[in-house]
C-alpha cells in the first residue's frame, strides 16, 4: 500500500505581499498563517509525515510553539533560491523515509485554507492514477492580455483553462527525477509535464487561495472562520 507524505515549501520572502516579515508568519485567525497550512496537512489521516522546508536563515520559526501540530511534522532548513529548488531540497531531505513509489503532496505554505475535503478528494481520485495530479479550479473570469499603458491588448479564450493550485501529488521517484531534469518550473506539475506525462486536474475551488497580496489575508480569514473546523488549535 503506497504511503502519502507532504512537502511544504516555506522559504519564500513574500515580496509581492510587502509585509515586514515573510507572509507565512503573518497572523491569521489567531496564529501564524503557516500554522493553518501545516495543521490541515497534519490532520489528514492519509498523510504520514510533513516536511516543512524553511529558509536556512529563517529566524521566525523558532519564535513559535508548533507542538500542537503533533509528531508528523519535520522541520528542515534547506530552502533554495526558487520554489522549485526548495521543493527539490525538501525531497532530498526526505529520501531516507520515502520510497520511490510513495505519494508526495507538495503544498504551498501560503495556501492556509486547503480543506480536509480537498485533500481527501486529491488522494482518492489519484490513488490508482499512473501519473498523479493537482488541485485546480476552472478559470471563471474572462481573461485579458495587457498591452502598453495597461490597456487591453487581447481577450483570451478561457476554454479549457484551469488555475493550478496545490497540493500537487506525484510519486516520489518520478517527481525527484523530473525536478532534477527540469528545474526551471513554477510548479511540480510543470516538471512532470516536461518529462512527458499528463497530470490529472482534480477540481477544487477558489477558497484554496494562495495568500500573495495584502487583500488575500482578509479573504483567507473569512474562509477559515466560515469553516470553523479548519481553524488551527
Ligand X SMILES: C[C@](O)(CO)[C@H](O)COP(=O)(O)O
Ligand Y SMILES: Nc1ccn([C@@H]2O[C@H](COP(=O)(O)OP(=O)(O)OP(=O)(O)O)[C@@H](O)[C@H]2O)c(=O)n1
Residue 186 binding result from ligand X, ligand Y, none, given CB thresholds of 5 to 8 Å by partner type: ligand X
Using CB under 6 A, which of the segments 6-14, 116-124, 132-140, 147-155 binds ligand Y? 6-14
210 binds ligand X (CB under 6 A): yes
Q: Is there a cis peptide before residue 167, judged by omega within 30 degrees of 0?
A: yes
Beta bridge partners of 157: none
187 binds ligand X (CB under 6 A): yes
Nearest distance in Å: CB 108, ligand X: 5
Among 4, 5, 7, 10, binds ligand Y (CB under 6 A): 10
Look-up of cell digits 510553539: 65
Q: What are phi and psi of 8, to 5 degrees?
A: -120, 100
Among 4, 7, 14, 49, binds ligand Y (CB under 6 A): 14
75 binds ligand Y (CB under 6 A): no
Question: How far apart, in whole angstroms, are the C-alpha atoms of residue 27 and residue 217?
Answer: 9
Report the residue number, 28 or 165, with the smaller CB distance to ligand X.
165
49 binds ligand Y (CB under 6 A): no
Q: Residue 162: in which H helix or E strand, if any?
A: strand 162-171
Among 88, 93, 109, 232, binds ligand Y (CB under 6 A): 109
Nearest distance in Å: CB 6, ligand X: 14
14 binds ligand X (CB under 6 A): no
3 state DSSP class of 194: helix
Question: How far apart, in whole angstroms, are the C-alpha atoms of residue 28 and residue 34?
Answer: 9
Residue 136: which residues within 8 A CB-CB, separation 6 or more?
A: 162, 163, 164, 165, 201, 202, 203, 204
Look-up of cell digits 479548519: 230
Q: Give me the residues that bind ligand Y (CB under 6 A), please.
A: 9-17, 24, 53, 79-83, 86, 108-110, 210, 212
Amino acid at each position: 500500500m503506497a504511503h502519502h507524505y507532504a512537502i511544504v515549501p516555506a522559504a519564500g520572502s513574500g515580496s509581492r505581499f510587502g509585509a515586514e516579515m515573510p507572509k507565512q508568519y503573518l497572523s491569521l485567525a489567531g496564529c501564524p498563517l503557516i500554522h493553518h497550512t501545516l495543521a490541515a496537512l497534519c490532520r489528514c489521516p492519509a498523510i504520514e509525515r510533513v516536511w516543512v522546508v524553511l529558509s536556512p536563515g529563517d529566524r521566525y520559526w523558532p519564535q513559535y510553539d508548533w507542538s500542537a501540530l503533533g509528531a508528523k511534522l519535520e522541520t528542515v532548513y534547506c530552502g533554495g533560491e526558487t520554489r522549485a529548488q526548495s521543493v527539490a531540497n525538501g525531497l532530498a531531505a526526505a529520501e531516507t523515509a520515502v520510497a520511490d513509489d510513495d505519494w508526495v503532496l507538495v503544498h504551498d505554505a501560503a495556501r492556509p485554507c486547503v480543506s480536509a475535503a480537498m485533500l481527501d478528494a486529491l488522494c482518492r481520485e489519484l490513488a490508482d492514477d499512473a501519473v498523479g495530479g493537482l488541485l485546480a479550479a476552472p478559470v471563471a473570469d474572462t481573461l485579458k492580455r495587457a498591452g502598453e499603458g495597461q490597456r487591453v491588448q487581447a481577450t483570451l479564450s478561457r476554454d479549457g483553462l484551469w488555475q493550478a493550485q496545490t497540493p500537487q501529488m506525484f510519486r516520489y521517484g518520478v517527481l525527484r527525477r523530473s525536478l532534477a531534469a527540469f528545474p526551471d518550473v513554477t510548479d511540480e506539475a510543470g516538471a512532470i509535464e516536461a518529462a512527458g506525462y499528463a497530470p490529472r486536474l482534480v477540481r477544487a475551488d477558489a477558497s484554496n487561495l494562495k495568500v500573495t497580496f495584502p487583500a488575500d489575508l482578509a479573504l483567507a480569514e473569512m474562509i477559515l472562520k466560515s469553516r470553523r473546523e479548519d481553524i488551527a488549535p
